[in-house]
Structure 1
């Protein structure tokens, strides 16, 4: 009888466990754990309008929900702001925010960190077979000291964007041709001509011509241009200033001193949005920020057509273009959080997901298979600006070599210093030119000597 009663209670207990599943030890299934939450800083769009935010929401609702992973975007900004914020946090400066679990970064940011060993080596979470699916040069750029610390999710290059509406107006009166923009020599000649043309439109106001061209990264122009001429831009961690550098400097500086090049701070999108420039060279991802309407300084607005072309090349130089595009870094924490970050990156770089993402932000995909399905996807792009961009991408890939900057400890310092100094020097030299102090060729030479001196300070 006792045995019967005992079995009865055991049976009832099992039934309760099976029905309620709430008592410890009743089954082998544990209570569902809280999701692993990862914070993210990135640069793709705005806080309320971001293609990557949309992809993250999709991940959270699908794979994230299944795997117990939740991604939380805490900052959407530009690369400069995130670069500065990362370094402040890494150096533990007073008032600096804590590093997120994941952040977008260029190699130059990682090289400037006091200790890049705080970052995860993705080789610990991706097999060799998995990594073999990615474009090798994209992985190489994110590898520092043999550790893959910046993982590619999208890559870009530099592209030339043109306000075709304003260019056509200039062309109609001067005979300028869009083909003149194929070479740097042609572009700089048009820059000087455009300044003179716009200056003549207000004969009662002297020296009020407008700039024609803006480059987002002057340092890239000199670096790639010098290399395309067959000369090393760097020597012993410094800028070499060789004979080919001077050939790259002279036409650029002349056009800038004569008013044809935008030398103010900020991104290249701004002068195009306000009609203060006609042509820009910038990251292909800038397509997100080029609008189809120009608002001039007198508050007039005009609908425009923006088209894209490969960057110019020198007449006697090789066709080389900068490889661009940041990668995701993951800060070391726990194996569970690090694995969660890898899970997200694997999902985001699956071919279909990756192509969906990159075609929204003006980037190239990062795996061989993604490139295979890209052409079919492009047929469905409705925005002519994006179709023009990807046509320029195809031409660039077919005709240009991609250039990856060397991993120098001095790279960031040289880039920052040159951007600041050359803009300042050429702005001052432009004022001297307007005062007719000296002929332009002399001013070009003196400006270069001033740059060399300031770069040593």
Structure 2
């Protein structure tokens, strides 16, 4: 009997130890959350580096492991998210966190699959963010897209060539502060470049290239006090005319680059020297211009805030994806939010965005941390960009585009037709000459409106 009791006791102790061991193993198993994002490449990403830091510090302490399962562009992630949400055959499972524009959320069959960050952030925590950035993330009164890094539109200038142009013509950088001044300068630049080859007629070069004409007209009209949208269509009022005329006149005379592709390409080849583009595109602006004859030249790229209309408010587009969190379990949702709060702490957020070419997302980060970070930047190109960010934050209001189902189709059609109509107008101008400028501009605007109003 004693032996039997001893055996029973030993078995009980072993079972208890096994239970303790299993509990310990369970407690040691971290909560893993997966991420799809757009910041850099799979092997060279400032966000991936910070995620490694999180996993080794806060994540290790709180048993959270953040795992990046895809680094891609926003369009690809948009398609992947919709495929997963719609249960398409072969679609990947949704991650815990993914980069997204509001348009992706609006295209979901059910946006309630996403966490409302208002359930996880206090009012005090939310009030720390730039209001316009938060406004863009609201869909159906739910905060479903959290900003972690934002961009805006910035004017990039090849200062090396612009200085030559300025010395020869008297056009200054300050002339580019308004759209009217910029397009007038583009006309002067076209004449200046055309005159350099008197034996080759009509070979003017374009000074300016814009990546997003939809934003030019949209923000321009709104800054002039006019609604750009009329329901799910575009409104063509006096403000639209104000925006069209200087652009068209400069384009017809050859001062505006109208071919497809991003501004970085025409700047790289010297086909243009001033651009307005997403501030995040700083990553792709080359410090060398390669000309058609294969000669090259080192250049200096500087940044300035986006131009505004003389009679308009200082209004500028805010751009950039945020992070959505997919509903799952309380543990995984809380783990995702813990990581996002860590990433948006002012000092760390500035560390992230200054490596990726973006703006921070909180007031404290802008006012306290960003000026200090600029002093430590080794790249003069990046220092110029971040000074332009500070100037923009201090002197502009950020514009929040409306959430319309037709937004993307309107944008696509307008971008294509503005370039098409102005390119056709350029050919008409070369045939008709200076006397036909105003009429050609009016005719092309009418043709453009007829297409957009179909």
2:363 to 365, 368, 372: 368
Once the two structures are superposed, residues 180-205 of structure 1 have per-residue CA deviations (whole angstroms, 9 ceiling, x without a partner) of 11111111012122223223333333
Q: Which residue does 1:394 correspond to in 2? A: 390
Equivalents in 1 of 2:423, 2:78: separation in Å?
Answer: 27
Matched, 1:358 2:348: no
- Tell me how far 1:51 sits from its aligned partner: 1.4
Residue aligning to 1:213: 208
- Determine the C-alpha separation between the residues in 1 that align with 2:446 and 2:89: 39
Partner of 2:431: 435
Consecutive unaligned residues of structure 1, counting only runs of 5 or more, are none
Alpha-carbon shift at residue 434 of structure 1 (Å): 2.5
Residue-pair matches, total: 452
Distance 1:255 1:76 in 2: 40
Show the counterpart of 2:19. 24
SS of the counterpart of 1:49? coil
Q: Distance in 2 between matches of 1:345 and 1:80?
A: 22
Residue 225 of structure 1, CA deviation: 0.9
Are 1:163 and 2:170 counterparts?
no
> Where does residue 452 of structure 1 map in the other structure?
449
Is 1:36–1:340's contact at 8 Å kept on the other side of the alignment?
yes
Give how far 1:393 is off.
1.8
2:123 corresponds in structure 1 to 128
Residues 16-165 of structure 1 aligned to structure 2 (within 5 Å) = 23-25=18-20, 29-32=24-27, 34-91=29-86, 99-165=94-160
Q: Deviations over 1:105-126 (max 9, x none)?
A: 2223322334322322222333
Give CA deviations for 1:262-290 in whole Å, capped at 9, x if unaligned.
22222222221222211111222222222
Residue 414 (str. 1) matches residue 410 (str. 2): yes
Give, in whole Å, the separation in 2 of the partners of 1:433 and 1:114. 49
The separation in 2 between residues aligned to 1:232 and 1:327, in whole angstroms, is: 26
TM-score by length of 2: 0.90
Equivalence for 1:385: 381
Are residues 1:246 and 2:241 paired? yes
Partner of 1:329: 324
Match of 2:256 in 1: 261
Distance change >3 Å, CA 306–CA 118, structure 1 → 2: same
Contact 2:39 2:47 in 1 (8 A): yes
Quote the offset at 1:440 in angstroms: 1.8
For residue 299 of structure 1, give the secondary structure of its aligned residue in structure 2: coil
Partner SS for 1:152: coil
What secondary structure is seen at the aligned counterpart in 1 of 2:272?
coil
Name the structure with the higher helix share.
2
SS at match of 1:151: coil
Q: Deviations over 1:388-436 (max 9, x none)?
A: 1122122222222221112223222221221122222222222222333
Which residue of structure 2 aligns with residue 224 of structure 1? 219
1:155, distance to aligned residue in structure 2 (A): 2.2
Cα deviation code 1:189-236 (max 9, x no counterpart): 121222232233333333332221111211111011111112111222
Q: Which range is displaced more, 391-400 or 25-34?
A: 25-34
Q: Which residue of 2 aligns with 1:291?
A: 286
Name the counterpart of 1:2.
Answer: 2
Q: Is 2:184 aligned against 1:184?
A: no
Q: Does 1:193 align with 2:192?
A: no
1:29 aligned counterpart, secondary structure: helix
Inter-partner Cα distance in structure 2 for 1:8 and 1:97: 52
1:307 aligns with 2:302: yes
| Alignment partner, residue 197 of structure 2 | 202
Distance (whole Å) between structure 1 residues aligned to residue 153 and residue 180 of structure 2: 18
Taking a change above 3 Å as real, the CA distance of residues 95 and 188 of structure 1, as seen in their structure-2 partners, is farther
User: Matched residues in 2 for 1:28 and 1:337: separation?
Assistant: 19
1:115-172 deviation per Cα after TM superposition (whole angstroms, max 9, x unaligned):
3223222223333343233333322210111111100112222111111011112222
1:11 to partner: Cα distance: 7.7
Please say if residues 351 and 367 of structure 1, whose CA atoms lie closer than 8 Å, have aligned partners that are also in contact: yes
